């Protein structure tokens, strides 16, 4: 089970000293340390009341690690690991084909019939965003750049801009693409901790942890984490648990090594917390993508992750983005739809709705993940309508048409939500949006593994 009892930090710290750590996987001159609470003082990574880890400068991380582990005032110490975005090269060899049905148009119709809902803030902890992109105007809210320590999280890698576009690229404006959650009141908070480094999109563990605390402390309802690495981190575990305790969903990618995460750890997707949803990538034939990690206990759900069309840096568009990085924002978007209608739901409720409404079988080959199926927006919203009547009744300003079902034909999810300027839920736009796959590929660029 994913939610097995977590081993105590003391044991894990002692065990860590026996594990091999590659020198290229962490910063050589830094360690992350969480000191034990001392009356009258505090140690914080960012402003807050909780005792949070700090970054300390050292001459040699490996040597200093052993020295710090022996101190009585240290709760845990670990390397400042390097993290990579989980992207697949743009020339991944898949032929164009239609995605298995996600029933997005019917979900959009439910949202339209419902009327105004409750604003949802999504923190995209990634490589920043192209704030000037015409298809992202009006949905971005102030963020932060932890990689460069300033308030301008400009994207120099493109990865974060792609994730943001999948979530909320403007629909009905007649240009580019439409995001999955294009027709709800969503605010995307870009928190940059990764940047372009020799053709890869990478960042430090400490900056990722700082971004999580910032997201929670600044009102995020959902965190999208399209990145990962293969070492256990105590500070990252603390931060995700902090998000859970404040009612924040943490939706993350399962990784791109094609491995079984039940037997080979991947983080943050393997953390056993109720707010964590680990997302695998499926191809347009309804199969688990060959690069995607899986796990009957550790990976929760699948979403489109091959050949995705989305926004890119410099005001452009990517026509063939692949990886669990890009499957993750599909699930994030549906979680946002559910919360838009029912802000009173707990993280455990949203998790149950998303995983309980998956589409399984029916030509899909997704048996190696916990839910056995892929995200389905329409079924999730139907489940939401039945799941939390009391929460909706207690929240002001909620419409009454939650159970309305569109009479139009249901459509399949697509790798490219082409924005024709029409309502993406209309029959004509269904043909444009979901029956066509982009046949052109962007120049090769490798972000990471």
Quote the CA–CA distance of 304 and 435 in Å, as a whole number.
15
Q: Which of 106, 109, 126, 402 is catalytic?
A: 126
Q: By the 8 A CB rule, do 293 and 302 touch?
A: no
47, HSE (Cβ side, Cα atoms, 13 Å) = 2
Q: By the 8 A CB rule, do 96 and 219 touch?
A: no
Q: Which of 114, 133, 159, 266 is catalytic?
A: 159
Quick one: which of 150, 279, 124, 121 has its CA closest to 212?
Answer: 124
Catalytic annotation on 118?
A: no
Reduced to 3 states (helix: H, G, I; strand: E, B; else coil), residue 235 is helix
Catalytic annotation on 127?
A: no
Quick one: which of 305, 240, 313, 243 has its CA closest to 88?
Answer: 305
Quick one: which of 119, 184, 115 has its CA closest to 401?
Answer: 115
Quick one: which of 417, 378, 421, 435 has its CA closest to 179?
Answer: 417
Please tell me what DSSP assigns to residue 154: B
Strands 26-35 vs 54-57: parallel, antiparallel or unpaired: antiparallel
Q: Which of 298, 318, 325, 429 is catalytic?
A: 325
In DSSP notation, 38-49 reads BTTB---SSSSS
Please name the residues in contact with 9: beta carbons below 8 A apart, sequence gap of 6 or more.
75, 76, 234
Catalytic annotation on 325?
A: yes
Which residues are annotated as catalytic?
126, 159, 325
């Amino acid at each position: 089970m994913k939610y097995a009892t977590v081993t105590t930090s003391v044991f894990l710290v002692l065990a860590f000293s026996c594990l091999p750590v590659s020198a290229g996987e962490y910063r050589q001159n830094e360690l992350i340390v969480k000191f034990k609470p001392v009356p009258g003082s505090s140690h914080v990574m960012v402003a807050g009341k909780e005792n949070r880890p700090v970054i300390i400068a050292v001459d040699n991380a490996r040597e200093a690690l052993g020295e710090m582990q022996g101190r009585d005032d240290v709760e845990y110490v670990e390397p400042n690991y390097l993290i990579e975005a989980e992207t697949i090269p743009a020339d991944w060899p898949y032929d164009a084909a239609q995605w298995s049905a996600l029933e997005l148009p019917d979900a959009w119709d439910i949202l339209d019939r419902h009327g105004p809902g409750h604003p949802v803030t999504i923190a995209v902890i990634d490589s920043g965003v192209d704030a000037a992109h015409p298809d992202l105007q009006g949905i971005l809210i102030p963020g932060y750049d932890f990689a460069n320590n300033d308030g301008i999280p400009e994207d120099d890698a493109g990865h974060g801009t792609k994730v943001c576009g999948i979530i909320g690229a403007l629909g009905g404006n007649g240009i580019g693409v439409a995001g999955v959650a294009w027709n709800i009141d969503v605010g995307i908070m870009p928190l940059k901790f990764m940047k372009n480094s020799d053709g890869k999109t990478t960042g430090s563990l400490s900056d990722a942890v700082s971004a999580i605390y910032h997201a929670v402390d600044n009102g995020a309802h959902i965190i999208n984490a399209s990145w990962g690495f293969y070492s256990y981190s105590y500070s990252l575990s603390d931060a995700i648990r902090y998000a859970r305790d404040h009612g924040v969903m943490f939706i993350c990618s399962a990784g791109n090594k094609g491995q079984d995460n039940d037997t080979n750890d991947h983080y943050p997707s393997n953390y056993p917390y109720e707010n964590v949803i680990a997302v695998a990538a499926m191809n347009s034939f309804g199969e688990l993508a060959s690069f995607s990690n899986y796990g009957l206990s550790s990976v929760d759900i699948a979403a489109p992750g091959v050949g995705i069309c989305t926004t890119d840096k410099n005001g452009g568009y990517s026509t063939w983005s692949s990886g669990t990085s890009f499957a993750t924002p599909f699930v994030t978007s549906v979680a946002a739809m559910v919360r838009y209608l029912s802000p009173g739901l707990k993280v455990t409720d949203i998790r149950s709705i998303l995983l309980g409404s998956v589409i399984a079988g029916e030509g899909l080959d997704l048996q190696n993940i916990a839910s056995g199926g892929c995200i389905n927006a329409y079924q999730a919203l139907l489940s939401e309508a039945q799941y939390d009547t009391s929460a909706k009744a207690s929240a002001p300003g909620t419409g009454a048409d939650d159970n309305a079902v569109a009479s139009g034909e249901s459509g399949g999810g697509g790798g490219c939500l082409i924005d024709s300027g029409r309502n993406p839920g209309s029959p004509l736009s269904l043909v444009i949006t979901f029956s066509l796959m982009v046949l052109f590929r962007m120049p090769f660029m490798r972000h990471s593994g």
